Amino acid sequence: MTRYLFSSLAVVLAAGVATAQQPAPAVQPGTPVQPGGAVAAYRAKDILGTKVAIQSNTAVGTVDDIVFSAGGDVEYLIVATQDGKLTTVPWAAATFNPAQKTAVVDIPVERWRTFPTYTAQSYPQFFTPTYRTEVYRHYGLTPAEFRRLDRKIDRRNP
């Protein structure tokens, strides 16, 4: 009986050691973090000041600010244009290259010119449903809470 107990205990301990997670490797500052193949993580200081371009590699400005939701999720980038105006870009619309300190928003120049702009003295109400929907639609996206609602409706009506 004792022999069986020790054998079982040895198997349990060996399984525990085999399944233990290894600590994440050290990452150099400014490098996107990709533990286990996860989506890259960025530090705010690496994003602020990033040059923003649209289709045809047309420079349109730099990231001036970042807007977070009440839950702590990054929602928008505030892009300062060359003429000193600001425009809102949903986080999901930008693709970053931190090594080159650039972000690309895949929209044509004509569409970029139609986006509403504002100044630092007249920031919009970022989280009103009307503003969120308008901004996301400009970029061909849907705000996250509406995507979740759409999935719930789809599940109910197969």
What whole-number distance in Å separates Cα of residue 78 and Cα of residue 86?
6
Residue 92 lies in a domain: yes
Instruction: Kindly give, in sequence order, each residue whose CB lies less than 8 Å from that of residue 133, ignoring residues fewer than 6 positions away.
Output: 143, 146
Supply the CATH number for residue 65's domain: 2.30.30.240
pLDDT of amino acid 41: 77
Residue 9 lies in a domain: no
Residue 18 lies in a domain: no
Give the count of domains, the chain: 1
Residue 58 lies in a domain: yes
Mean pLDDT by 10 residues, the chain (158 residues): 44 42 39 48 87 94 94 93 94 88 93 91 90 90 60 47
Domain with 106 in it: 44-156
Residue 98 lies in a domain: yes
Alpha-carbon Rg for the chain, nearest whole angstrom, is 23
| pTM for the whole structure | 0.67
Residue 30 lies in a domain: no
pLDDT of amino acid 21: 43
